[in-house]
Amino acid sequence: MAINKDYFVIEGLAGARKLRGKISVNGSKNAALPAMAASLLFDNPVTLTNVPAIEDIKRMGELLKSLKTKVSHQGKHSLIIDPRSTKKTAFNEEISKRLRASIVLLGPVLGRFGEASLPHPGGCVIGARPIDLFIEGFDKMGVNFSEKDGLYTFKTRGGKLSGADITFKIVSVTATETFLMAAVLAKGTTVLRNVALEPEVTSVAEWLMRCGAKISGIGTSTLTIEGGELLQAPTLPFPIIPDRIEAGSFLILGAISASRLTIEKCNPEHIIVTIELLREAGLDIETGPDFIKIKPGKENQCRTISIRTHEYPGFPTDLQAPLTVFMTQSCGEGAVFETIFEGRLNYTEILIKMGADLKMWDAHHVTVKGPTKLSGKEVESPDIRAGLAFIIAAIAAEGQSIIRNAYYIDRGYEHIERRLRKIGVNIRRVAG
């Protein structure tokens, strides 16, 4: 499977606030991927709308097809998934090694067939992502685990998953989604404690419940699921919620480089902490039911902020890199504490090369002094979120920047260059 070598060329604004206009938010990648996996819980075709046309969605579609599931497009942003032809339980190794979300399929595959095999799931290199939670949890649900030549095999001891009481030692979105889906088809009652509360989790759980799943406690830290039979999808499609990380990233870009920017088709409640942090930094922000408007404060205030990432509803780790770029343009010294992934601050070395005044104290803590002038550089995207942060930094910088490894950015953001050009960014994609 060839990875494109495209890259972006960006002419920076040298700190000027020249961007203005409207930019729309697409459907959430992190809600669409588990919804696609959840299609295997059904006994009829599932229709998903507002699905972003990005690389990770393509990979999940290919992974489902490798299991003999029928996946078809109905327009650019709609998918029809028919699980009735699904018969394989061995995940495609090449795709799984590149897609972290592949492990979410483990729940519905085990629930439907009682066995599954996959390699260690891959994705971005942002720190260790152990599968201990999955091994221990499925053991409680009556599953034997074995590993041979890098291939993990899960097989139920009685041919069907059994309900269990599972407490997650750490809050995990993927573990919550995986065991929630597994429990829907398990025999008996499953209780999941210390679950993730992210909107992407709750939206999929609410959809499953509307389709017949017996789930209580949605929106709380404890979920109780009564196992049952395959679900029936309604005639109406399931619309994927707006991508809060995309909305937050556009908001931060506006805070740095826009005279006036409106983010449309979003849910401000999903990024309320980010909005309040930017207000604290002096930005003028107006919110509505599905939009956010941002412009500089009346007195062009420039105040620093500090952030500590936390599971929802706290400040999201996926917005940590863009907000760090914002802090390089703020006044004073602020701190960034990354509490989720130990390797997620490595991108700061690139920002330092661009002129940022940053100091890394350890793998979880950096301090940022601003404002500093950034200079355009040639850099490479290390992961999805840092890749977009580099684009934001390049827009604020003086001179030309080249952002290589566009594939990572494409994994999370649909046609980012086309959308940014509409608000005034001088950006172009070059085929690699």
- Does the N-terminal peptide bond of residue 313 adopt cis geometry, omega within 30 degrees of 0? yes
Pair 133, 170: CB distance under 8 Å: yes
Look-up of token digits 């074995």:
146
Catalytic one among 124, 266, 302, 331?
124
| Residue among 336, 333, 340 at smallest CA distance from 348 | 336
Q: Which long-range contacts (CB under 8 A, 24 or more apart) does 213-218 make?
A: 213/41, 213/184, 215/180, 215/184
Tell me the two tokens of residue 373.
């002038």
32, exposed or middle or buried, with CB in 10 Å at 0-12, 13-18, 19+?
buried
Tell me the two tokens of residue 268.
């401000």
Alpha helices in 127-172 (DSSP H): 132-140
- Rounded Cα distance between 66 and 63, Å, is 5
- Rounded Cα distance between 27 and 243, Å, is 5
Is 302 an annotated catalytic residue?
no
293, exposed or middle or buried, with CB in 10 Å at 0-12, 13-18, 19+?
middle
| Residue among 330, 374, 325 at smallest CA distance from 345 | 325
Within 10 Å of residue 413's Cβ, how many Cβ atoms? 26
Pair 60, 99: CB distance under 8 Å: yes
Tell me the two tokens of residue 275.
């909005």
Greatest Cα-to-Cα distance within the chain, rounded to the nearest angstrom: 68
Quick one: DSSP state of residue 31?
H
Q: Can you list the positions of beta strands (E) in 343-425?
A: 357-362, 365-370, 378-380, 400-404
Pair 316, 344: CB distance under 8 Å: no
Active site residues: 124
